[in-house]
Amino acid sequence: METLTREKIFYEFSKDNKPVKMVKSGTTVAIDTYDCFTNQIQSDRTEINTIDWNHVNPATGPIYVENANPGDILKVKIEKLEIGDQGVMVVGPDLGVMGHRITEMQKKIIPIENGKAIFDEIEIPLNPMIGVIGVAPKGNGVNCGTPGEHGGNMDNKMVEEGATLYFPVFVDGALFGLGDFHAAMGDGEVSVSGIEVPGKATVTFEVIKGDTLNHPMLENNAVYTQIASAKTLDDAAKIATEEMVDRIVAKSDKTIEEVTMLMSAVGQVEVCQIVDPLITARFVVPKWVLEKLDIKLI
Amino acid sequence: METLTREKIFYEFSKDNKPVKMVKSGTTVAIDTYDCFTNQIQSDRTEINTIDWNHVNPATGPIYVENANPGDILKVKIEKLEIGDQGVMVVGPDLGVMGHRITEMQKKIIPIENGKAIFDEIEIPLNPMIGVIGVAPKGNGVNCGTPGEHGGNMDNKMVEEGATLYFPVFVDGALFGLGDFHAAMGDGEVSVSGIEVPGKATVTFEVIKGDTLNHPMLENNAVYTQIASAKTLDDAAKIATEEMVDRIVAKSDKTIEEVTMLMSAVGQVEVCQIVDPLITARFVVPKWVLEKLDIKLI
């Protein structure tokens, strides 16, 4: 297994980033990460107004995956996800769903103890997840706080240990990176932050030829999900649904009308986050349905 | 237990509807319903273009609950939910998420056998639910195909056996009705229809004085949820979140900043439906969090 330390970070997914590691398809890499504030808030004594907002949402990388070319798919299996023992949350004016009601920025240090996040008297069960994960986009770079067709800051709580992501490849080598782990987060990420923590993700890369994607997908033991990001939650939900319907129609012997009805009965429109510069939704289909249709989505 | 047959229907929730039954708080009523097409599509031989679209989404009722007055809350416990043995789904141009890609209306008769909905070779597990449920709104009537502050066509799959709904009361007697059952439906209801079935719901009414609501809430064994409907999914999600945050702030000793952070970690923004004239979302909070805060939401 290879390793990558968190000193190698970038703040923008870009075709112009210089790779910090080259790996072959099939390689497993343990990747260290800072939290989304690049670990600038370590205690209650840190003044929130003193942190450098030009250095938030770092992704560790980029990793160049050999033989990944535009039009391919990069498969990334999250073998293991480890998180630090202290998290932090923030709220502030104009941030998140309640930003219009909040007058000053506040932070909260949240110890992680015995598998729980300690929020005052409330012990929150952990659901460790990766907020920022993706590849270089085509065209201009995209800052690591924004999601898109390349992945990025999707803040999707299904991006957890055991999940497999599939990204469209836009540039040679894909230029993969990840960061922004959360010890716990609900769908929506309504305050604009999860419980932000540093950590280490162990992932295995595989290049898939002969198939292509418009937006990232995610697979776990139970489901396939189509992820999409857009200016509105309405648009993100519709894009995710339509991409999934189109993929099932293309791979099955059902018509678009039949697949639309079937998805209405068994598919789920779900929310990833509603607080980033673009909004992210997912459309979720149980694997047993795909097995009955006798198709593989990827 | 009292009963109400499905001959007593209305197509618009309205303060002007004449009650078909008067009950006291605490009464249990078994209510029969047509499906959302008022049972017009009973076989593959029914031409979809022959059905009367002025007679869809009937609700059985209205029921006048004594002593329910504007500003009160009407609590409705779904004691039992029974469905018929045949369902129907539809797709059509300009309907649902895929309506821009569909050129003619199609229907599909779906037998319900041995606890499954038979969709061609696919046996779909049932999740019986109530699509239309609510009370008369203030002001003008609202057709039963549209959701709102009064409930109506929320198409929320959590409205199932065992759930309890809480509605704002806008007019004396509340003027409750329900209909539009689905044998199965996923969040989003992306085709514009679930597996539409007739059925019978047994519900118990209770009038709650001294508390009030702006939008319906739902409780089950595990969670409380705030429901909201709006022109966009973005707005519905934000309204549901803000209403829930405000209610928890009002009932607890936490600040709005603390509750916003807590909800970001443990609350879920979820989708009810994205296909009706207004869109419906819900914000879901686990009961164990409210118990730790030592508050009752209603």
Residue window 251-290, chain B: list those with CB within 8 Å of chain A.
254, 256-258, 260-271, 274, 279, 283, 289
Same domain, A80 and A11: yes
| Closest chain A C-alpha to B186 CA, distance in angstroms | 5
Angstrom CA distances, B193 to A181, A264, A296, B184, stand at: 38, 7, 26, 10
What pLDDT is attached to residue B213?
Answer: 98
What pLDDT is attached to residue B155?
Answer: 98
Indicate whether B263 belongs to any domain. Answer: yes
Contact A193 B293 (CB under 8 A): no
- Nearest beta carbon to residue A98 from set B122, B186, B256: B256
* Residue numbers in A near B188 (CB within 8 A): 237, 241, 264, 267-269, 283
What pLDDT is attached to residue A186?
Answer: 98
Contact A122 B289 (CB under 8 A): yes
pLDDT in tens, A136-149: 999 999 999 999 99
- The residues near A35 (Cβ < 8 Å, ≥ 6 apart) are A84, A87, A88, A180, A181, A196, A197, A198
What pLDDT is attached to residue A44?
Answer: 87
What is the band of B197 on the pLDDT scale with cuts at 50, 70, 90?
very high
Q: Is B167 on the interface with A (CB under 8 A)?
A: no
Q: Is B116 on the interface with A (CB under 8 A)?
A: no
What CATH number is associated with residue A261? Answer: 3.10.28.20
| Closest chain B C-alpha to A16 CA, distance in angstroms | 34
Radius of gyration of chain A (CA): 19
Same domain, B139 and B48: yes
Same domain, B134 and B38: yes
- The residues near B80 (Cβ < 8 Å, ≥ 6 apart) are B30, B161, B200, B201, B202
Flag the least confident range among A50-54, A274-278, B100-104, B200-204. Answer: A50-54
What is the band of A50 on the pLDDT scale with cuts at 50, 70, 90?
confident
Indicate whether A196 belongs to any domain. Answer: yes
Average pLDDT over residues B147-168: 98
Same domain, B64 and B167: yes
Average pLDDT over residues A154-183: 98
What pLDDT is attached to residue B100?
Answer: 98
* Residue numbers in A near B292 (CB within 8 A): 121-123
* Residue numbers in B near A279 (CB within 8 A): 234
Average pLDDT over residues B226-250: 98
Same domain, A137 and A7: yes
Same domain, B224 and B261: yes
Indicate whether A110 belongs to any domain. Answer: no
Contact A237 B233 (CB under 8 A): yes
The torsion angles phi and psi of A164, rounded to 5 degrees, stand at -120, 130
Contact B265 A119 (CB under 8 A): yes
Same domain, A79 and A167: yes
CA-to-CA distance for A177 and B206, rounded, in angstroms? 55
- Nearest beta carbon to residue B195 from set A186, A265, A267: A265
Q: Which of B36, B98, B232 to mutate to test the interface with A (most CBs of A within 10 A)?
A: B98
Average pLDDT over residues B72-87: 98
Determine the distance from the C-alpha atom of residue B154 to the mean position of all C-alpha atoms in its chain, rounded to a whole number: 4
Q: Structure tokens of A22? A: 């080259």
Q: Is B79 on the interface with A (CB under 8 A)?
A: no
Same domain, A163 and A71: yes
What pLDDT is attached to residue B88?
Answer: 98
Same domain, A23 and A169: yes
What pLDDT is attached to residue A259?
Answer: 98
- Judge whether residue A225 has pLDDT over 90: yes
What is the band of B50 on the pLDDT scale with cuts at 50, 70, 90?
confident
Indicate whether A108 belongs to any domain. Answer: no
What is the band of B205 on the pLDDT scale with cuts at 50, 70, 90?
very high
pLDDT in tens, A70-87: 999 999 999 999 999 999
- Judge whether residue A67 has pLDDT over 90: yes
* Residue numbers in A near B121 (CB within 8 A): 292
Of B208, B236, B257, the last residue of a domain is B208
Of B178, B208, B238, the last residue of a domain is B208
Same domain, A237 and A285: yes
Same domain, B37 and B183: yes
Half-sphere exposure of A245 (CA within 13 A, CB side): 28
Q: Structure tokens of A39? A: 């670990």
CA closest to A259 among chain B residues: B191
What pLDDT is attached to residue B48?
Answer: 85
Average pLDDT over residues B245-270: 98
What CATH number is associated with residue B195? Answer: 2.60.120.580
- % of residues, chain A, pLDDT over 70: 100
Q: Which domain holds residue B191?
A: 2-84+128-208
Of B208, B242, B266, the last residue of a domain is B208
Q: Is B212 on the interface with A (CB under 8 A)?
A: no
What pLDDT is attached to residue B209?
Answer: 98
| Closest chain A C-alpha to B203 CA, distance in angstroms | 25
3-class SS of residue A148: strand
Indicate whether B117 belongs to any domain. Answer: no
What is the band of A209 on the pLDDT scale with cuts at 50, 70, 90?
very high
Average pLDDT over residues A218-233: 98
Same domain, A14 and A78: yes
- Judge whether residue A243 has pLDDT over 90: yes
Average pLDDT over residues A58-66: 98
Q: Which of B127, B225, B264, B289 to mutate to test the interface with A (most CBs of A within 10 A)?
A: B264
Indicate whether A58 belongs to any domain. Answer: yes
* Residue numbers in A near B264 (CB within 8 A): 89, 96, 185-186, 188-194
What pLDDT is attached to residue B44?
Answer: 87
Q: How many domains does chain A have?
A: 2
- Judge whether residue B47 has pLDDT over 90: no
What is the band of B49 on the pLDDT scale with cuts at 50, 70, 90?
confident
CA closest to B235 among chain A residues: A233
Of residues B181, B183, B182, B82, the one with CA closest to residue B123: B183
